[in-house]
Amino acid sequence: MNTDLVALFAETFGISEEKLLPEATLESLGLDSLAVIEFLFQIEDKFGIQIPDQANPPRTLAEMMQLIGPLLPAGKPAV
């Protein structure tokens, strides 16, 4: 997983990076859907990208990385 995204996630939510495994559900990490959406906005601002609107927000860290990875600038792969 992208170390910049993992570090941002850990810093934003106060979660140890060791707990941030790809299969971890965002709910199990204590995030509700609003927190996920707000974090996606934070990622857009930090990396200067536009994440497409989705009916269903990502449920796991792996899903989040799959959504964000292709949008990151060159040299910043998410996976």
- CA triple 12-46-75, angle to 5 deg: 110
CATH of the domain at 55: 1.10.1200.10
Residues of the chain with pLDDT under 70: 1, 55, 74-79
Expressed as residue numbers, the domain containing 38 is: 3-71
In a domain, 65, yes or no: yes
Place of tokens 């971890």: 24
**Total count of domains within the chain:** 1
Q: Is 73 left (phi over 0), alpha (psi -120 to 50) or beta?
A: beta
In a domain, 45, yes or no: yes
Q: What is the pLDDT of residue 2?
A: 75
Q: What is the pLDDT of residue 57?
A: 80
**Distance of alpha carbon 76 from alpha carbon 3, whole angstroms:** 9
